[in-house]
Amino acid sequence: MAGAPKRETVVLAACGIGLGHVGRLMPIARILLSKGYNTIFTTYGDAANMCSKAGFLTYREEVLSYGSKEDGSLSLKETFRQTPKAVKAFLSQIRSELNVLRTHRPRVVVSDSRLSTLVAARILGVKSVLVIHELKVVLPIDEKQAPGLRAVKKIVERIALEVLGLGWDLATVVLITDYPPPYTVCKDSVVLPEFLRHKAKFIGTVSAPIPEISKVEAKRTLGLPADKPLIYFGLSGLPWERRLMAAKMMRCAQAVSRKGYTVLFSRGEPGGLPRLSEENGVKVCDWLSDRRVAYKAADVFVSVGGQTSVGEAIRYGVPMVVVPTPNHTEHDQIGDSLNELGIGLKISYRQLTSEGMVEAVSKITGNHFAERSSLIASSVSGYQAADMVTKTVEELLRD
C-alpha cells in the first residue's frame, strides 16, 4: 500500500528585532498548519522564545540588531560602531539558513524583513516571499538641529534604499504589510525602487481574524467594567526600549485612571504572565495572551508606534495616542501619519507628562477620532493580509 503523501514544508524566517515581525508571521503559520503544511521558524532574540512557547519548531540564530544609548534609545553612532559585529552575525545567519533549508528542503520560504533568508534561498534555488513594510531606512538625524547634514542624510538614505533594494529583489514576490494610499501608516519608509515595483503589492496589516464579539463582551471577557471607556496601554519593542518607556508610561496610565477611565497596561514582556493585577488603579499584566480582545474592548490605544500594533488598531477602528520610542524614525513617522489621518495624536517622549497624556486621551474620547477611525477601519476591511500571504505561498508551490 502506498504511503501517505509527504506534507510540504514552509520555512518562516522572522526578523528578531522586536516582536512585530514574528507576531505577523504567527497567523500565517497557523493558516498553513490548518491547510496541512509543516511550518518551521527561524529567528532570534525574544522572537525565538515566542515561537518556541507557541509550539513551533524553531531554529535560533545569531542576534542582529541596532545600537542603543545608555538610556535605551536608538543610537546611530553605536549602530555604525557595531558594523563588524553585525556583518559577522549576518554571515552566521546565512550559514544557519542554508543548513535549515538543506535539512528540511522547502520549496517556498517566507522572509519577514530577513535578507539572510533571501540570500540562502537564492543560493539553493528556493522560491521566496518577502513580507516587509520598511524598505527605506530613515536616519535618526533631526534636520532642524543639524541643517548642514540634510544633503548628506538624503544621499545616504537614497544609497541605502537602492543597495537594500537589490537585496530585496532576490525575493520572488514582495508583499508590503501596510495599507495602500491614502491610508499608508509608514509612508516615508514604504518607498519602492523602480526595479522592485513589478513584483510588489500592498496587502495591509497581517494579523489574526477579528473576534466576533461586541465591545461590552470584550470588556467583560477581560474582567473590566463595561460602562466606562477603556484606555489600553500596550508597550512593544526591544527589551531595553520597553524598560525605557515603562516607568514614564505607567505614571501616565495612573494619571489617566485617576480621571475615571478604566486603564489596561501591558508591559509587552513575552515571557511574563498574562494574569491581571492592580497597581494604583491600573490593571497591569506582563503579556496579553490575546491582544485581539484588548483591541476589541479599547476606546483608545496608547502605543510606542510599532507598525504592526498600529496597523492592528486601525483594523479594529481604535483611535490612538502614539509616544514614539526616542530616535526611532519609523515610530515618529507613524505618529505623524496618524495625526494626518485624524485617528490619533503624537506626543514626543521627551515632552511627555502625565497631564499631557490625560489631555490627549480626553481629546480623543471627546471628539471625532472614534468616528474617523471606524470609517477607515471599514475602508481597509477588505485587506485580509494573512490569507494573501498564504495564497501567494500556495501559488508558488503550484508553479
Segment 128-151, tens digit of pLDDT? 999 999 887 665 555 555 555 566
**Domain limits of the chain?**
9-204+383-398, 215-379
Q: Is the torsion defined by CA of 120, 125, 127, 130 positive or negative?
A: positive
Asked: is 215-379 a CATH 3.40.50.2000 domain? The reply is: yes
Query: Considering all CA atoms of the chain, what is the largest pairwise distance in Å, rounded to the nearest integer?
Result: 75
Q: Is the pLDDT of residue 1 over 50?
A: no
Architecture of the CATH domain 9-204+383-398:
3-Layer(aba) Sandwich (3.40)
* pTM attached to this predicted model: 0.88
Q: What is the pLDDT of residues 191-223, one digit of tens each?
A: 888 889 999 999 999 999 999 999 999 999 999
Q: Each residue of 245-303: pLDDT tens digit?
A: 898 999 999 999 999 999 999 999 887 777 899 999 999 999 998 999 999 999 999 99
One-letter amino acid for residue 137 of the chain: V
Alpha carbon distances (Å) from 14 to 125, 130, 181, 207, 381? 20, 10, 26, 15, 25
Enumerate residues 6+ apart whose C-beta is below 8 A from 39: 9, 10, 11, 12, 29, 32, 33, 56, 57
9-204+383-398 and 215-379 in the same fold: yes
